[in-house]
Amino acid sequence: MIFCPETNNPGTLPNLIHPMQSRRDFLKTGTLLSAPGIVHISLTEAIEVSTRKSDPTILLRSSWNDNNIGDIGHSAGTLRIMERYLPQARLILWHAAPRPVTEALIRKNFPRVQIVNGGFEGADSDAKSEVMEAFRQADVYIHNSGMSMNYGLFNYEWGSTMSNLVPFYYCLENKIPFGLYGHSFDKFAPPSQLIYRDVLSRAAFIYTRDTESLDYIKEMGFSAPIMEFGPDGCFGIDVRDEEKGLAYLKQAGLDHQKFLTVVVRTNTPHLDSDGKGNLLNPTQTPEKMAEDRLRLDKLKAMITHWVRTTDLKVLIAPEALKETKYGKTLLYDHLDNDVKQKTVFRDTFWNADEAMSVYARAHTIFGMEPHSLIMGLALGVPIIHARPLAHGRKGWMFRDIGLPEWLFDIDRVSSEQLIDTLMTIEKGYPQAKNKVTKAMAYVAERQKATMETVAKATS
């Protein structure tokens, strides 16, 4: 909306923007908005005006997994950011594989978003035509937040590497701008850096969700025109399922801001992996099990201190499906009986909107995973992140948004440090909430800037 001082009413800028003016031309004349008699408009409004006539189509590849609410949250958050700052844009969400849990949430909360399924190549003809039609319509293609642009981190399979890069080659061939949004980069084993550097240097933009990744790609010689810090898309999430969330809180006996949420990440494979593991979900070797015990003993000490000191409850919640099993056997079952009586273990998985409705009522969220913590911050809830450094650079995002005192290496931090940090939050809760507000204000600033870049890429 634009304010016209001559009429003292909201309206359009008469005789300033021709109805057929392009987005590119409008952005070039942006200085006119500061002329005498014209009130400066916000970035959000500038983007809205610039897209009003041309209505760009944005194709977003996302939704990596239905068994991790963070992978669901990437999609819901980024779509909300786009709807907020580019309200006239047409949004297409591409799932390379069907994601029924994510799709249910998207259809409920984003009715205007079109979802397409299928592989970019090698898929059956119907799926391929649906995806390729989306590319033919796209004004910009965006690969969403995650860790998929790595080689040698999870495996050394060229097939998975090329499946992510081939769409970029198609965009280059067909002059479609493309970019990466809130991504982490951890490893380019030789000779993969030659390919990644060549392709991604021709991206319209690369936003990394942590500055460590940004430094890494610069060191590797990447040279895209815009390479900046841009928060994980999940920071934009605002979806809720109040009916399910409130029902669960009532059934679990959890009261508003009267419980600590604890999210674990164990050295265990996916439940359907037949024991085969990877970097984030490793096979349960004796060494990995011993590592888990050391880590979870720290959480046990923190939970015990919280319960016995505050007389408040604890919710052990799953960010990943597998922790509905291992969170119980490796943590909850090891708590002392008096602490167990004050601790709720959630043994069923949930969609991101139900989790959001529960997290909104938490006092504080502790996590070894980042995305429940991102959801907490988006809801105004203080967080503590203690992660294994081996899980990648993504954890540094909390330092980068201004919360370094709440970020730890789980293998180096002591239980006493975790307890001190938690009790400092509890004793100075208003101050902790203010820290969250300040951090999220910076996130919002960066979100606006990223969407301005997307708007320019579509012009």
DSSP state of 333: G
Which top CATH class is 242-442? alpha beta
What is each CA distance from 71 to 9, 327, 335, in whole angstroms?
43, 19, 30
Q: Stretch 373-381: mean pLDDT, rounded?
A: 98
CA 423 distance to own-chain centroid:
27
Torsion of CA 417, 286, 68, 181, to 10 degrees: 70
Residue 28 has pLDDT above 80, yes or no: no
Q: Stretch 317-333: mean pLDDT, rounded?
A: 97
Question: Using 50, 70 and 90 to split pLDDT, how confident is the model at 25?
Answer: very low
Model confidence pLDDT, tens digit, residues 253-293: 999 999 999 999 999 988 887 767 777 888 889 999 999 99
Orientation angle between helical segments 415-427 and 286-310, nearest 10 degrees: 30
Element (H, E) at 132: helix 125-137
List beta partners, residue 408: 386
Element (H, E) at 70: helix 69-85
Q: Which sign does the torsion angle of CA 352, 155, 323, 368 carry?
A: negative
pLDDT of residue 124: 52
Decide: 27 and 17 in contact? Cβ < 8 Å. Answer: no
Q: Stretch 441-451: mean pLDDT, rounded?
A: 98
Q: Is 429 exposed, middle or buried (0-12, 13-18, 19+ CB in 10 A)?
A: middle
The reply to whether domains 51-237+444-457 and 242-442 share a CATH topology is yes
pLDDT of residue 459: 84
The alpha-carbon radius of gyration of the chain (Å, integer) is 23
Decide: 171 and 177 in contact? Cβ < 8 Å. Answer: yes
Q: Stretch 223-247: mean pLDDT, rounded?
A: 98
Model confidence pLDDT, tens digit, residues 414-423: 999 999 999 9
Residues in the chain: 459
Question: Using 50, 70 and 90 to split pLDDT, how confident is the model at 128?
Answer: low
Residue 385 has pLDDT above 50, yes or no: yes
Tokens 């101050």 correspond to 431
Which top CATH class is 51-237+444-457? alpha beta
Decide: 363 and 260 in contact? Cβ < 8 Å. Answer: yes
Report the percent of the chain where pLDDT is more than 90: 79
Q: Stretch 404-432: mean pLDDT, rounded?
A: 98
pLDDT of residue 40: 36
Q: Would you give the end-to-end CA distance of the chain in angstroms?
A: 21
Residue 51 has pLDDT above 90, yes or no: no
Domain spans of the chain, in order of start = 2-41, 51-237+444-457, 242-442
Tokens 């006092």 correspond to 363
User: Average pLDDT of the chain?
Assistant: 88
Q: What is the DSSP string of 375-442?
A: HHHHTT--EEEEE-GGG-GGGGHHHHTT-GGGEEETTT--HHHHHHHHHHHHHTHHHHHHHHHHHHHH
Decide: 147 and 180 in contact? Cβ < 8 Å. Answer: no
Residue 17 has pLDDT above 60, yes or no: no
Rounded-to-integer distance, Cα 56 and Cα 48, Å: 11
Rounded-to-integer distance, Cα 299 and Cα 102, Å: 30
DSSP state of 235: G
Model confidence pLDDT, tens digit, residues 195-212: 999 999 999 999 999 999
Neighbours of 76 (CB within 10 A): 28
Model confidence pLDDT, tens digit, residues 52-100: 436 999 999 999 999 999 999 999 999 999 999 999 999 999 998 899 9
Torsion of CA 304, 306, 311, 315, to 10 degrees: -80
Rounded-to-integer distance, Cα 352 and Cα 73, Å: 6
pLDDT of residue 125: 53
Q: Stretch 160-171: mean pLDDT, rounded?
A: 92
